Amino acid sequence: MKYQVDERGYYGKFGGAFIPEMLYPNVEELRTNYVSIIESEDFKKEFDDLLRNYVGRPTPLFLAERLSEKYKAKIYLKREDLCHTGAHKINNTIGQILLAKRLGKQKIIAETGAGQHGVATATVCALMGMECIVYMGKLDMERQRPNVERMRILGTKVVPAISGNMTLKDATNEAMRHWINHPTDTHYIIGSVVGPHDEHVNLIGVEAAGKGVDTNESAATTALGKIGILHGSKSLLMQTEDGQVIEPYSISAGLDYPGIGPMHAHLFSTGRVQFLNATDDEAMNAGIELSRLEGIIPAIESAHAVAVLKKLELSDEDIVVVNLSGRGDKDLETYIKWGKY
User: Please, are residues 184 and 80 in contact by the beta-carbon 8 Å criterion?
Assistant: no
pLDDT band at residue 2 under the 50/70/90 scheme: low
Q: How many CB atoms lie within 10 A of CB 49?
A: 10
Which comes out higher in pLDDT, residue 88 or 10?
Answer: 88
Which position among 68, 192, 302, 325 bears the catalytic label? 325
Q: Catalytic: 89?
A: yes
Q: Is 291 a catalytic residue?
A: no
Which pLDDT does position 282 carry in this prediction? Answer: 98
Across the range 45-53, mean pLDDT stands at 98
Backbone angles phi, psi at 282, to 5 degrees: -65, -45
Query: For residue 193, what pLDDT band results from cuts at 50, 70 and 90?
Result: low
Give the domains, in start order, of the chain with CATH numbers.
10-54+89-188 (3.40.50.1100), 57-86+198-338 (3.40.50.1100)
Weakest mean pLDDT among 12-16, 38-42, 282-286: 12-16
Residues 124/94, Cβ–Cβ less than 8 Å: yes
| Phi, psi dihedrals of residue 176, rounded to the nearest 5° | -65, -40
**Is the Cα dihedral 296, 300, 305, 308 positive or negative?**
positive
Question: Count of alpha carbons within 13 Å of 205, Cβ hemisphere only?
Answer: 25
Give the model's pLDDT for residue 197.
52
Residue 3 has pLDDT above 70, yes or no: no
pLDDT at 196: 46
Q: Are 194 and 93 in contact (CB under 8 A)?
A: no
pTM of structure: 0.90
The one-letter code for the residue type at 221 is T
CB neighbour burial string for 202-235, b if at least 16 within 10 angstroms, e if fewer: eeebbbbbbeebeeebbbbbbbbbeebebbbbbb
Percentage of the chain exceeding pLDDT 70: 97
Residues near 181 by beta carbon (within 8 Å), at least 6 away in sequence: none
Could you say which DSSP state residue 255 is in? T
Instruction: Give catalytic status of residue 302 as yes or no.
Output: no
CB atoms within 10 A of CB 10: 16
Among residues 78, 80, 111, 302, which one is catalytic? 111
* Per-residue confidence band for 1, with pLDDT thresholds at 50, 70 and 90: low
Q: Which of 89, 105, 234, 330 is catalytic?
A: 89
Q: What is the mean pLDDT of the chain?
A: 93
Statement: residue 333 has pLDDT above 90: yes
